[in-house]
Amino acid sequence: MMRFLKYIVFAALFIAYFLCYQGALSHVIIYHEQHHLFLFSSAYFHRTVLSEGFLSYATNFFIQFFFYPAWGSTLLAFLLAGVYYLTDRLYRIVFKSEDLMQLAVIPSLALFLHTMSVDHTLNIVTGSFFALLLANMLLSVAGRFVNINPAIVRFLPKRKVIRIGIVCLFLALYTAGGYYYFIKQYNVSERIMLRTDQFAKAKQWDKVMEYTENYLRRGRSNQLISYYHNMALYHAGQMPYRLFDYPQALGVKGLYFPWNANSRESEYGHVLYEELGHLNEAHRWEFEAMVVWGETAPHLLNLARYNLAVQRPQVAQRFINVLKQSLFYSDAACSLEQQSKKASDELPYNALIGVNDVPARFSNVV
């Protein structure tokens, strides 16, 4: 058993991480994919490496595969389980013995818990994996010529049963500690808000209703939840009857996001204006969001759609050209390019189409 232990623990960690990213942490995979866009271009390479470093470039390369959540969960689980395997192998090379206390589990588990919050970068995960891989390669060569520290072997128990008992004890401790920390740190509100936002942008309004009501039933008040809940009521044709099922503690701000130049809020304001057909205002919000978050797929797609709908195809082409350099959004970009050449029902509704824009019109959502 001891001979195959590292493979058993690696498999167990991989499965546990994969199930978490497919379940309780599924919003993490989608969030990172929506906030990073890897482009196959020399300009992107030089810009990213010079401004953020090669590690960010490598991390963005991996994150592009999060486009398919199952792929993203598999890849992230493999990197985290790989950290365990490489740390265990490093321990064996250095100490010429088995890792009975399974210390190699600690960095892998710590990195997994680090990924629980979407505000934490994944650079540290990819950086740790590649650093350990390099260290293993170097020490594999050096270890052949230098007996680094064999003295520890004298203090290890000889009996196999005792060794297995020590391993099981420490694995149980790590499992219990990791589970306790996971439960204590797990942010249910963050998951509800992010999943609500993801469903709203996918126009799955029944799911939006389900998640927002789950939040509001707890007696909580949140502007994003109220915003999307009221929008879901509108799409369900229930707004006149159910608007006051829950206290509108935020007043009129439960219906829209006022412009506060807030970087976090900039991602959400465009949804209402798109639904109302006020595409110039939706464009303004999305452009500001792109300034804050960079040229990510959601912003580029929306900016292209809005410009096509208001008959600015050359402006739309600028955003389409960027998307065409990506792996998973190039088809969507080509589809938009085709829509620029002919009328399409798939473009957003423009409430001001055919309206004379002189004098200038200003929209006031209140």
CA-based torsion, 261, 264, 267, 271: positive or negative: negative
- Identify the weakest region by mean pLDDT among 108-112, 167-171, 225-229: 167-171
Q: Which of 104-108, 140-144, 182-186 has the lowest mean pLDDT?
A: 140-144
CB 334 within 8 A of CB 324: yes
pLDDT at 138 (0 to 100): 87
pTM for this prediction: 0.89
Task: State in Å, rounded, how far the first CA of the chain is from the last one.
Answer: 69
pLDDT reported for residue 82: 96
Q: Token digits for 110?
A: 């710590």
φ, ψ of residue 73 to 5 degrees: the values are -65, -40
The confidence score (pLDDT) of residue 11 equals 95
Instruction: Give the integer Cα–Cα distance in Å for 107 and 83.
Output: 7
Buried b (16+ CB within 10 A) or exposed e, 15-44: ebbbebbbeebbbbbbbbbbbbbbbeeeeb
| 57-104 residue pLDDT tens | 999 999 999 999 999 999 999 999 999 999 999 888 877 777 778 889
- Residues 132-182 have pLDDT tens digits of 999 988 887 766 655 555 555 555 666 667 777 877 888 889 889 888 999
Distance CA 266, CA 262 (A): 6
Whether 272 shows a pLDDT value over 80: the answer reads: yes
Residue 42 DSSP SS3: helix
- Is residue 300 classed as helix, strand or coil in its secondary structure? helix
Average pLDDT (190-203) is 91
How far, in Å, CA of 248 to CA of 263, rounded? Answer: 24
Name residue, tokens 């195809």: 313
* 107-129 mean pLDDT: 95
The token pair that represents 186 in the structure block? 């797990």
Measured distance CA(56)–CA(62) in Å, rounded: 10
| Phi and psi, residue 181, nearest 5° | -65, -40
DSSP assignment of 118-164: TTS-SHHHHHHHHHHHHHHHHHHHHTTT----GGGGGGS---HHHHH
Residue 112 reports pLDDT greater than 60? yes
What distance in Å separates the CA atoms of residue 103 and residue 328, rounded to the nearest whole number? 39
Tell me which DSSP letter residue 116 carries: T
Length of the chain: 366
pLDDT band at 121 (very low <50, low <70, confident <90, very high): very high
